[in-house]
Amino acid sequence: MNEIQKTSKFKLQLSGVWKAPSPPTFHLARFAYNGKQNFTIQKWTLNVLERNKSSCFNENHLTTEIKSAGTGHSLKCSDLSVYENDSITWYKDCKNYEHETERELNFRTLTVQNSGIYTCKILISHEGTIYHSTNTIKLVVEEDAPEAFTLEIVGRHEVIETEIGKEEIFNCTGSLGYYMQEDASLYWLINQTFPEQCTGIPENEPSICEEELKKLQLGNKFYITRLLRIKKVRDEDMHHNFTCMLQVDETTQIKIVKLKKGKIQDLPVHVFTTGMVLALLFPFVAVAVVFVFLMFRVDFVLFYRNICRRDDTAEDGKEYDAFVSYLKDCVSPTEEEREFALKILPMILEENFGYKLCIFERDVFPGGAFVDDIHSFIDKSRRLIIILSQNYVSDRAIYELESGLHKALVERKTKIILIEYMPISDYNFLPESLSLLPSKRIVKWKKDKSLPMNSRFWKNLRYLMPAKPIKTKTKRHYSNLDLGSEAAQPWTEGSDFNAII
């Protein structure tokens, strides 16, 4: 082995035998020294060939690669290189090839015209000396059997189910293989008649039109495509033949599609399931809604009156909202009952809710005819509030009750509201004609539970009173009387309410 080059970093050594007239062969290696020992970096064989004076390559020193047309391929230069900045030049048939200077020569899509002998020359510069390394490849591109042109209506069958008034778009696409055929044509026919061209302006589009021809390249293959648009399917379109025709190299292919009315589709499973669940739940929801409304009907009605500011008292010719009748003479009422009739009831209804009451003892001046006065004031009142007790019918107040019943049942001018101030176990003491009312219309007073202004007692009483916007007459509150301080009771607090309007 002979040392041919040496530097402080590496050295090249070669060994070989040259026996004339055969060309010599050398085995080369590149070594490096790390301060302790030498180690091999690279080895290769150097064949010395006789130069062909009439060509840039030697027939005995080339490799052959056979590829098919339409595929992609890369030719690789020699792996021999000492430095990355070595100069690379490619030749085809001994002529400079398109100024290519990369280590690989890439062909995206091979054609027969790419066949030839490609030589890669590397100029290696080392310590002022230029070395040449070449690699020659014979590329043979074989053309496959001509690929048959194909035509299809993308994503469609020969018979298409549709609906009247629906928009339809047909995409006709022809495959041209690995080459773009410049003479290829693609167009639509409707019963052997050319359709109009689409304008691109929706309001001016014909009912049926075709778009411009488009040329595409996907991967290594070429395609042409054209769309046919049906703006709204008509009944007459069900009888047309829609033909797509491809013409290439004196060959013609056609595809025909037809329209037919589609069957009524079954409901999707999730829609059917949802509908069944809703159908099963609806009765329960309806019952729940009705139950809630019945339980809270008084609150709903009062809320509605307040929001809409409903007024049933306007222009009805009545002066009072209610005439109050209670036990007076024959049997003396308790002080609580008297205070309820003369103070608590008017204070809440008049001063807080804007009602106007007629209380005989308070509002009627003595000296008049009792019977005439009773008739007159009941006629002027929209409601008759009767504060019931066991001794009520023993008193002269029974006349007020009978007059009110006559107004309610015969003349139908006044509605009666019964307030059970003291517990009554038997209503047989009341006149039988009272049972002819739509309901007993009884509101029960429960002492401390009923005292707060927003208790169930006052809500039920307001519910039976005529609708009227709230207009308070004073800013006085419960401090004027010892009405208790309990918070408003919920619906279930036990206030009985039998009235039905």
Length of the chain: 501
Which two structure tokens, joined as six digits, stand for 427?
Answer: 């209503």
Question: pLDDT-based confidence at 222, cuts 50/70/90?
Answer: confident
Q: Are residue 237 and residue 367 in the same domain, yes or no? A: no
Range of lowest pLDDT (22-26, 147-151, 232-236, 289-293): 22-26
Q: Is residue 404 part of a domain?
A: yes
Whole-number pLDDT of residue 357: 92
Do 133 and 273 reside in the same domain of the chain?
no
164-195 pLDDT, tens per residue? 889 999 999 998 887 778 888 999 999 989 99
H-type alpha helices, 254-406: 269-295, 297-308, 335-339, 345-346, 360-363, 370-379, 397-406
pLDDT, residue 16, reads 43
pLDDT of residue 79: 64
- Rounded distance, CA 128 to CA 130, Å? 7
Residue-number span of the structural domain to which 278 is assigned? 269-295
Q: Are residues 56 and 101 in the same domain?
A: yes
Percent of the chain with pLDDT over 90: 14
Q: Are residues 321 and 452 in the same domain?
A: yes
Residues known to be catalytic: 400
| One domain for residues 192 and 308 | no
Domain boundary among 115, 142, 169: 142
Give pTM, 2 decimals. 0.43
Q: What is the CATH number of the domain that holds 392?
A: 3.40.50.10140
Alpha-carbon gap, residue 108 to 482, rounded angstroms:
102
- Domain end marker among 122, 142, 162: 142
For residues 99 and 37, membership in a common domain is answered with yes
Q: How far apart are CA 278 and CA 285, in angstroms?
A: 10
Domain membership flag for residue 329 = yes
Dig out the tokens for 497 from the structure.
């309410």
Q: What is the mean pLDDT of the chain?
A: 76
Q: Which one of 89-103, 386-400, 468-482 scores highest in mean pLDDT?
A: 89-103
Task: Give pLDDT, residue 392.
Answer: 62
Q: What is each CA distance from 153 to 99, 124, 172, 223, 230, in whole angstroms? A: 44, 58, 4, 13, 15
Residue 501 covered by a domain: no
Instruction: Identify which of 42-56, 233-247, 392-406, 414-428 has the greatest average pLDDT.
Output: 233-247
Report pLDDT for 157.
83
The answer to whether residues 451 and 372 belong to one domain is yes
Sort 276 into a burial class: Cβ within 10 Å, 0-12 / 13-18 / 19+: exposed
pLDDT score, position 473: 53
> For residues 467 and 21, which has the higher predicted lDDT (pLDDT)?
467
- Looking at residue 492, what is its pLDDT? 33
Based on the fold, state whether residues 9 and 86 are members of the same structural domain.
yes
In a domain, 420, yes or no: yes
Whether 203 maps to a domain, the answer reads: yes
Distance CA 169, CA 342 (A): 85
Q: Is the pLDDT of residue 228 over 90?
A: yes
Residue 248 lies inside a defined structural domain of this protein = yes
From 96, 122, 142, give the residue that closes a domain. Answer: 142
Would you say residue 207 lies in a domain? yes
Per-residue confidence (pLDDT) for residue 22, from 0 to 100: 56
Portion of the chain with pLDDT greater than 70, in percent: 68
Q: Does residue 350 form part of some domain?
A: yes
Instruction: Using DSSP bridges, classify how beta strands 442-444 and 415-420 pair: parallel, antiparallel or unpaired.
Output: parallel
Same domain as 448, residue 475: yes
**CATH number, domain containing residue 39:** 2.60.40.10
Quick: pLDDT tens for 80-132. Answer: 654 566 688 888 888 888 777 788 888 888 888 889 999 888 887 777 777 77
- Do 399 and 287 reside in the same domain of the chain? no
| Residue 23, number of CB atoms within 10 A of its CB | 13
The verdict on 384 and 237 lying in the same domain is no
pLDDT at 469: 83
Pair of tokens at residue 480 = 């004027």
Task: Mark whether 183 and 242 lie in a shared domain.
Answer: yes
Domain count, the chain: 4
